[in-house]
Amino acid sequence: MTASIHDIADQRPHLMVVASDGAHVVPHALMQSVIDGDKPASILTEPVVQRIIEEWLKQVTE
């Protein structure tokens, strides 16, 4: 398996999401664009979305 590696140093702040398929670093602006509906949620991989939902569910149920 090979992965695309992108330098996102100029895209701070960013989030690190440890998903079932590995660690992902996602720029905050990209996440906000998805939340705002400017970009489709499909831009995020299924494991990343699953992990985000898992973390959110923990926060709202504890």
Residue spans per domain, the chain: 15-61
Cα atoms in the Cβ-side hemisphere of radius 13 Å centred on 58: 6
Average pLDDT over residues 27-51: 95
According to the model, what pLDDT value does residue 10 have?
72
Mean pLDDT of the chain: 89
Helices (H), 3-45: 28-36
Mean pLDDT of 43-52: 96
Question: What is the tens place of the pLDDT at every residue in 4-34?
Answer: 777 767 767 888 999 999 999 899 999 999 9
Q: Give me the amino acid identity at 43.
A: I
